[in-house]
Amino acid sequence: MLTIANKTFTSRLFTGTGKFPTYQSMQDALEASGSELVTVALRRVDVKDKDDDMLAHLSHSRINLLPNTSGVRTAKEAVFAAQLAREALGTNWVKLEIHPDPRYLMPDPIETLSATEALVKEGFVVLPYIHADPVLCKRLEDAGASAVMPLGSPIGSNNGLRTLDFLKIIIEQSNVPVVVDAGLGVPSHAAQAMEIGADAVLVNTAIAVAQNPVEMGKAFKMAVEAGRMAFECGQGTVSEQANASSPLTEFLSYE
């Protein structure tokens, strides 16, 4: 069981809602994935419309909505967007995304830290999307972030864990859940993140643009479970050489 800010999750696979060909395929894929936390871009939903198509397809009792602030460039805009999302969607959870760079959507560490401080003061459960920067993760934890969401590689790139070395440090040091977000392209990437001890992963593009999003959602579900199971089992250490026999010390066994 994973706990973030007093909410427990059975599934450690978080999902996104962008890029699906239809809302129905989104709904089916998310159901197959077993995901209980689903990000929704404020820019895509009509918060004034109670019957918004996307929200209607996410009304499953298992699913918790995680509004994101994708599109903002500053802390000030992020705070404003989070307040609006809280009011409109009835949740104080927010995935904080501040990326002034519209091409690679690289998160701004300075604005993110400042917005986290402000939002925590206002009672938000803040899950910031950030670069895989160990020091920033500690600073965000100190500021009251409920989890940290470092990237595996650039959003939508499907490149996997290019930041592996830094993710390991973040996981080792963190006192809040670490959710590897962005860049996971195939189930084995998700399994790898879970094997190194990530608490959860967030996947969107890889499921949404798959030939069969439903089956891919299921595949990621299984990979996350397998990766977590392996982590919990305690893996054998990796060695550069075979340890099958001990030619130099074998004589001792005769004692």
Partner 1 sequence: MNDFRDLLSQYPPEKVHQALAHVTPARVEQALAKKERDLEDFLALVSPAAAPYLEGMAQKSRQLTLQRFGNNMQLFAPLYLSNECQNICTYCGFSLDNKIPRKTLSDKEIMKEVEVLKGMGFEHILIVTGEANRTVGVDYLEHAIQLIKPHFANVSMEVQPLDQDEYERLIRSGLHSVLVYQETYYRETYKIHHPKGKKSNFDYRLETPDRLGKAGIHKVGIGALIGLEDWRVDSFYTAMHLRYLEKKYWQTKYAISFPRLRPFSGGQEPKVAMNDKELVQLICAYRLLDPDVELSLSTRETEHFRNHVIKLGITSMSAGSKTNPGGYAAGKESLEQFEISDERSPEKIAGLLKSQGYQPVWKDWDPALQNTFR
Catalytic residue among 50, 95, 138, 168: 95
Q: Does residue 156 touch partner 1 according to CB under 8 A?
A: yes
Residue 182 counted as an annotated binding residue: yes
Per CB under 8 A, 215 contacts partner 1: no
Q: Does 45 bind partner 1 (CB under 8 A)?
A: yes
**Residue 217 annotated as binding site:** no
18 binds partner 1 (CB under 8 A): yes
Contact status: 44 vs partner 1 (CB under 8 A): yes
Contact between 50 and partner 1 by CB under 8 A: the answer reads no
Q: Is 128 in the site for partner 1 (CB under 8 A)?
A: no
Q: Select the residue interacting with partner 1 from 61, 103, 241, 254 (CB under 8 A).
A: 103
Query: Is 183 flagged in the annotation as binding?
Result: yes
Tell me whether residue 156 or residue 187 sits nearer to partner 1 (CB atom).
156
Q: How far is the CB of 23 from partner 1 (least distance, A)?
A: 7
- Rule CB under 8 A: say whether 101 interacts with partner 1: yes
| Site for partner 1 contains 19 (CB under 8 A) | yes
* Closer Cβ to partner 1, 210 or 230, answer by number: 210
Secondary structure, 3-state, the chain: CEEECCEEECCCEEECCCCCCCHHHHHHHHHHHCCCEEEEECCCCCCCCCCCHHHHCCCCCCCEEEEECCCCCCHHHHHHHHHHHHHHHCCCEEEECCCCCCCCCCCCHHHHHHHHHHHHHCCCEEEEEECCCHHHHHHHHHHCCCCEEEECCCCCCCCCCCCHHHHHHHHHHCCCCEEEECCCCCHHHHHHHHHCCCCEEEECHHHHCCCCHHHHHHHHHHHHHHHHHHHHHCCCCCCCCCCCCCCCCHHHHHC
Known catalytic residue at 95: yes
Calculate ∠ Cα 216-128-135, nearest 5°: 115
Nearer to partner 1, 26 or 167 (CB): 26
Which residues form the interface with partner 1 (CB under 8 A)?
18-23, 42-47, 69, 71-74, 76-77, 80-81, 84-85, 100-104, 156, 158, 205, 208-209
Active-site residues: which are they?
A: 95
